[in-house]
Structures are given as structure tokens and as C-alpha cells.
Amino acid sequence: MESLEFLLKYLPVAVAEDNGVGNSGHGAVQGRTQTVLSSSYSAPNCELFSAANSLSSSSKAQSMTPSSVDQSESVGNACTYKSGKKYGSATTMWKVYANNKVQCCNACIGTKGCAAATFTTSNNDHSGGMGPQSWEGFGIHLPNVLAAKTTGGISVDALEAKYASRIGDHSEFDAFMDYSTAFYTYDLQHYIDIFTTDDVKHFLGQWTDASERQWYSLIFLVPQSTYVIELMSMQASVDASSLPKMEQRMSDALCTEWSKGTESANNAIETVSINRASSDLDAIDNAYTKYMQMTTSHTISDSQVQRHCYKTSSSFDVCFTKRESSSNADAIFSVKDHEDNMWAIHAGVMGSDPTKTDKMTDSHGGFSVTTTKLETYFEANSFAQLLENRLAYACAQSYVIDPTGFSIQAGGPGGSSFPGCGWSVSV
């Protein structure tokens, strides 16, 4: 819930439509959000309050209170609604985005200290459906699947602590910032200003693309998570020469595309890449080009940084970076340590049974991959050998587990065509 609160407060995202009643569903406490489309709302429309103060009439308002002011008691419960009523501004906390009144309710439940909320209706409102909807943008999902295990490795809490220790106060770039989702935004200064005002720790760097265009990157760790976000833009008022210089952070094609990006009233963010750190780019290239038959979109190779990006069937790339890292940082938890931990958990929970799902499969990106050669490879090896070789799968959602230990959600909640997968999976 702390992660959900942060995302809703600082980014143009709304609670996902299928987040469940009171942010609970599918056996999980859900911190799932979807980005708000640039063509949708121009300003936040769900006002959160620290107390349920006086109500007044408003034809476009839907107000609500959670089942309890104690967040631990309100999670999993619906709100009580009052149609045509709005709360006064005396106890306003802040405003967030919502596509309907239930999302506004879930935003309040996800915000510590929220006792009431008012949702302002409009012609852009939508509701209904399971899974991401056409009127929702990219999903930033932070669930806690309660029954999923981390047998064989460290707990999620411990892993979150490793990320926090590695990234620290964000004053310097760290290799764990390569475990990120990157978004384009037209005006980065908006985010620099609000993060600076609220003392939200962030790293700010600059880089140029192959056409010598100037770009800026703002990177931050979402609190109480292992989710790193990078925002990229050509628009910032800060002097580039005063910032650390980074390698090119987007492919040439995406740089050209987004150099023509336009301003949006809601400071929209658009996905450009899912990124991972890696200790073995040969294994990555083997998995993504040989078996998944993906095309390379960008490559960097020098003495300190090697980066391989691949074009997905979606509008973003998937990128892997191997870089020099300080011995002090690696003593905390290295990229290799991270990979070893991920694979130890996959082996510790699944063993020889791919129908079991461990907690680390929730660390995934969602995009389609060509599975013909993958399936042949999976069928030619025992599951234990696949785990040892570090290119494997889990039946649920047709997860493909790449050499980093992170997963690709290649399918939906139904069955999988991978060996040993039926229509029933377990955690």
C-alpha cells in the first residue's frame, strides 16, 4: 500500500480496474496501477481527505468513505458511497487520478490516513472488465501474492532492503538502477520540481543520442519495493553540464520517435523500455535472439558499459546492461547475487513442477514472444536442466524465465502450451 500511495501521488496513474475490492483480489493484496492516457483526464479527479468533513451538493460528485480509517482493516472491503455530494477542502490531502468511483475508493484505501474521498465524474470515465483495458495505459503492478513462496532464497522484504541499500540516497548512479521501467515524458521539469519540493530522493543525469540531441533521465526507487522507474525527456531547465553524463538510454529509433513527442496536460508517461541488469549478455543474446527470435534494436559496447536492447511486439524495447560496479556496492548485493537468488527461488519452489508459481514470477514484464523454438528447447530438456541452464518457464501466465531470473508474461491466466502445463496451476 505504501508503494501504491507513492505511485498515485506522484505519477499520472490510476488504480488498475482489476485491483479487486479494497485492493485485494486473486489471493493478493494489490498495488496495481495503470498509466493515465494522454488523451484522457487533464487533471487529477479524485480528492483524498484526512477526515470526512461537511458535505455539499454537486451533480458531478461521488463521495465515499472506507470501511475503517485503519488501513489494515479497510483493505479488502468496499467503500460506502454518497451520490451527488462532495466534501469540503478543509482536510484535503492531495488529488489523484481515477477512471471511476471504485478506483477512487481504492486510492483512498491505499493512502495511509485517508478517511474520505470525492470523485468528480466526466465523459472520460470508464469501468468494467478484467485485466488491462483499452482505456488504461501501461501497468505498473506491485502485488503481494500471499501464498507464493521464496523458498531457497531471501524474502521479498530482504530483497527490498538490498535495493534500498544499493541505491541509497540516489546521489550516484548504481547498477541496480538498471532494473527499471523507463518512460518518456515531455516535460521532465514537472517531476524534478515536485520531487525536489517533497524531498523525494532521485538521480538526475544527462545523455545525448546518436543525432546529438540532448536528453535527461530522472531515476527513483518506488518506496517499499524493488521497482525502479526512469523518466526520460528532452525538456528540463537544469543545466546539462552540471549533471552526470550517462550512456544513451534509448534506441536510435525510439529517440527519433520521442524527440517529436508533444506536451500533455496530465504530464503523461509513455513506456519506452523494460530494463534489467545482467552478468552474462551472451546468455541474454542466446535467449532473446536464438530462442525468442527477437531483433536487436540497440547495442552499446565499451570498457565500462555493455547494453543489448531487443524490439518487442509492443511499443517498447527490453534492454539488458552489464557494467562495472564498485566492490563496496557489490558487497551489499551484486547483480550476480541477484540472479543467483532469483534462480534459487525458482528451483526451491518449483523443483520439478512448473505448475507451481513462486513469488519471483511477479517480477515480470508483459509482452508477446515467439515460442516455437522455445517450446522445442523446453521439450528437449528436463525441467531440472532448464533451471540449471537458466532459461526456463512457469505454466501460470505462460511465464518465460530469462537468464536474469526475471520473467516475461507471454500469455494470459489460462493454460500454457509448455511441457507439463495444463489448465491448473498452484502456488
Are both 294 and 369 inside the same structural domain?
Answer: no
Q: Is 317 a member of any domain?
A: yes
Q: What is the mean pLDDT of residues 306-317?
A: 96
pLDDT of 424 > 70? The answer is no
Examine the domain organization and report whether 106 and 171 are in the same domain.
no
On the 0-12 / 13-18 / 19+ scale of CB atoms within 10 A, 200 is middle
**Domain end position, chosen among 304, 332, 360:** 332
Terminal Cα-to-Cα distance of the chain (whole angstroms) = 22
> Given this model, what pLDDT does residue 249 score?
98
Span 194-198, mean pLDDT? 98
35 and 90 belong to one structural domain: yes
Residue 252 has pLDDT above 60, yes or no: yes
Q: Are residues 119 and 46 in the same domain?
A: yes
Q: Which domain-ending residue is among 311, 332, 353?
A: 332
| Model pLDDT, residue 412 | 79
Confidence of residue 413 (pLDDT cuts 50, 70, 90): confident
Residue 26 — pLDDT band, cuts 50, 70, 90?
A: confident
Do residues 240 and 189 touch, judged by C-beta distance below 8 A?
no
| Number of domains present in the structure of the chain | 3
122-161 per-position pLDDT tens digit = 999 999 998 899 999 999 999 999 999 999 999 999 999 9
d(CA 353, CA 338): 23
Mean pLDDT of the chain: 96
Same domain for 313 and 364? no
> What's the pLDDT band for 416 if we cut at 50, 70, 90?
confident
Residue 94 located in a structural domain: yes
What is the arithmetic mean of pLDDT over 278-298? 98
Q: Quote the domain boundaries for residue 309.
A: 156-332
pLDDT tens string 71-92: 999 999 999 999 999 999 999 9
Same domain, 125 and 67: yes
Residue 379 CA, chain-centre distance (Å), reads 32
- Indicate whether 270 and 377 sit together in one domain: no
